[in-house]
Structure 1
């Protein structure tokens, strides 16, 4: 009946260390918990006496038509939770009309994911070997991906204490299908997560604006920076020709104590002022959450963990049902808020718990009574 049901169902079938790997955050998980709490502090000011006989969730994301203002977020190693892995979740996204973001660390090769059809974006981690990084971009282009999503908040993996305590390793049947990982991700360490060891050896901590410029020059695909929280960084991204930024704290898995993504969203939206798209990631768990993001200036959202809970619980059908629920809940929320579509949601105003009514990022002013 709701996305939380899938998390409970997944918990009943997943090994505890895999469940912790997906659910956990970094450090004391302050930011992980704050993402959800911050969304729950945002209240919507619905409008009345609007004709909502027909409510559409259709929109455009990165210039491409989408049935929902929702994309599947990049998550590594879907085969951890189901043998079909990314093939199943990509099929669910295609059926829902939502873009699917394939991770550099996907457990299925990018070519097999794009063969499913639908809109596929490729999430890029900047590797220590720049030539290999650029080869991944060309490979994604050749496979038919329609955007490159560069993750910019992982110079190394955050200290995820659940994984450290579990001495987490990848099982033998799961590997990063797009990059050579060696044995590091499969070797148990006494006081570390094997995945943290692997990423520290594989990812570059020297990713800079020069790297963004080089990537912008290399590819003609829409370029997205994921992991932006400061409005100054968002503005600079737009100046570098980036097509979109994803306001994200990596689901609370990187800097513990980072601002909740939804709290950073309005300032980022104001800073770029329409010069690039703004998407929200981290903590989205319902249709009303999507509506909150739209009202605060996002053109869409990315949803991650719930897709894996659905995949774990019931394979492709479970992942598909997660997206169906989000679509049903979003249409319901739009209509009850007096919105006949996604564009109208941008004109809603919001109230923060304990605060007065806020203006939406889209300019608003009282209009003549006949127009209201």
Structure 2
């Protein structure tokens, strides 16, 4: 780190949230109503969710070895703190697809949020708007594209913003649309058009989940939530006019029809299909960014670059697809080496703490996606729980920068800030 290097400008003092919690607890006796320690937070969702909802939030592929590998990889990389650095102000802000956002964190796309709170995706969309962080909406959401956009705008309008809107000025804060692409092109185009018209200006196509992975805990309970009677699920599909014209009568007989036809259809796509949907998105959006989510090999990242993608999301779907796969953090190194500097690289899978965010950025990610944390949070009190978890994570990142001696997350947090430690056994978290 260059001692003379100064941050571009102060970020919001996220670390003050820690003081707020201490003050409310010490002066007013008001304690947080659940723990934000990741392990305890995950465990306590067993008390706030029904069994099937808990499984959907926490199930992994096979023996959960990939999920474990995600965490073990973070353990192997250690931060090198620097002393006597003036970190009284920090700059956590980054540029992502033309948006200047106050911290390198996005809300990851997660489906059927009504399993975790009655308002579903409206909760994280509103909180993301408040924080000025990009919100990524899943195709498999339980609220409509339009209602989620309105909730995101409402959250953004309630506070002073630190984000920069894209040139079309359709969204008050950045919001991206995650696409599960079926084999009905009319439905795909309809969804993308609705997303663009609702201010979602980046499209990320998930390429690792055209078939659900083998998840034993879900198998044991036959927990395919889209078929489970009474489970809120396919509202987005049901509200898509193109889909309803074609499959409305079938949908009335079978709750899971649309999700089978349009999401987990068991028919793999190829690079030709990627190029087709990328072209359609560019036509609809006037050329806004298109990226692939689920990339784990440097060769695939290079192919995405050659196909014209603006970026990739390095992700193993949080260990939910291929058991025994490479950790997402190890895959990040391969991708950065293959295409670093030539496209935007986002990181997903395994983020639990501020130091995790720091390490992913140091290893070459431009920003990270956070998913399970905010799902666990909204499972404890809906909006308040989601907000508490995300503000806690932001405070953790900010404090890690402060006490670690790093002022600018883009200028100072590089590979030299970490040391690889191959020895030892990861302790229980």
TM-score category of the 2 structures, normalised to the smaller one = 0.7 to 0.9
The aligned counterpart of 2:36 is: 2
Distance (whole Å) between structure 2 residues aligned to residue 171 and residue 73 of structure 1:
27
Distance (whole Å) between structure 1 residues aligned to residue 254 and residue 82 of structure 2:
52
User: Residues 127 and 203 of structure 1 are in contact (CA less than 8 Å); yes or no, is this contact kept in structure 2?
Assistant: yes
Distance (whole Å) between structure 2 residues aligned to residue 26 and residue 56 of structure 1:
38
Which range is displaced more, 128-137 or 158-167? 128-137
Distance (whole Å) between structure 2 residues aligned to residue 12 and residue 201 of structure 1:
30
The aligned counterpart of 2:426 is: none
- The 1:122/1:172 distance shift into structure 2, 3 A limit, reads same
TM-score scaled by structure 2?
A: 0.77
User: Residues 127 and 383 of structure 2 are in contact (CA less than 8 Å); yes or no, is this contact kept in structure 1?
Assistant: yes
* 1:134 Cα deviation after fit: 2.0
Aligned: 1:39 with 2:106: no
The aligned counterpart of 2:203 is: 148
Which range is displaced more, 284-293 or 197-206? 197-206
CA-to-partner distance for each residue in 1:136-185, whole Å, 9 max, x for gaps?
11111111102101001112111111111111134425022222493798
The aligned counterpart of 1:226 is: 293
The aligned counterpart of 2:404 is: 337
The aligned counterpart of 2:11 is: none
Distance (whole Å) between structure 1 residues aligned to residue 350 and residue 263 of structure 2:
29
TM-score scaled by structure 1?
A: 0.88
- Find the residue that maps to 1:60 and give its secondary structure: strand
CA-to-partner distance for each residue in 1:40-82, whole Å, 9 max, x for gaps?
1111122333221101222122221112101011110000011
Aligned: 1:106 with 2:161: no
* 1:3 Cα deviation after fit: 4.3
Aligned: 1:302 with 2:381: no
Give the root-mean-square deviation of aligned CA atoms: 2.2
- The 1:185/1:332 distance shift into structure 2, 3 A limit, reads farther
The aligned counterpart of 1:62 is: 97
User: Residues 46 and 337 of structure 1 are in contact (CA less than 8 Å); yes or no, is this contact kept in structure 2?
Assistant: yes
Aligned pair partner of 1:203 in 265, 283, 290:
265
- Find the residue that maps to 1:12 and give its secondary structure: helix
The aligned counterpart of 1:179 is: 237
Distance (whole Å) between structure 1 residues aligned to residue 208 and residue 182 of structure 2:
13
Distance (whole Å) between structure 1 residues aligned to residue 311 and residue 116 of structure 2:
30
- Find the residue that maps to 1:2 and give its secondary structure: coil
Aligned pair partner of 2:387 in 307, 317, 320:
320
User: Residues 224 and 246 of structure 1 are in contact (CA less than 8 Å); yes or no, is this contact kept in structure 2?
Assistant: yes
Which range is displaced more, 137-146 or 4-13? 4-13
- Find the residue that maps to 1:148 and give its secondary structure: strand
* 1:272 Cα deviation after fit: 0.6
Distance (whole Å) between structure 2 residues aligned to residue 128 and residue 175 of structure 1:
20
The aligned counterpart of 1:361 is: none
- Find the residue that maps to 2:312 and give its secondary structure: strand
What are the equivalent positions in structure 2 for 1:111-190 lying under 5 Å apart? 111-116=146-151, 117=153, 118-168=173-223, 169=225, 170-180=228-238, 182=251
User: Residues 126 and 204 of structure 1 are in contact (CA less than 8 Å); yes or no, is this contact kept in structure 2?
Assistant: no
Structure 2: gaps of 5 or more residues:
1-34, 154-172, 239-249, 424-429
User: Residues 101 and 132 of structure 2 are in contact (CA less than 8 Å); yes or no, is this contact kept in structure 1?
Assistant: yes
* 1:119 Cα deviation after fit: 1.9
Structure 1: gaps of 5 or more residues:
188-193, 356-372
Aligned: 1:282 with 2:349: yes
Aligned pair partner of 2:313 in 246, 266, 277:
246
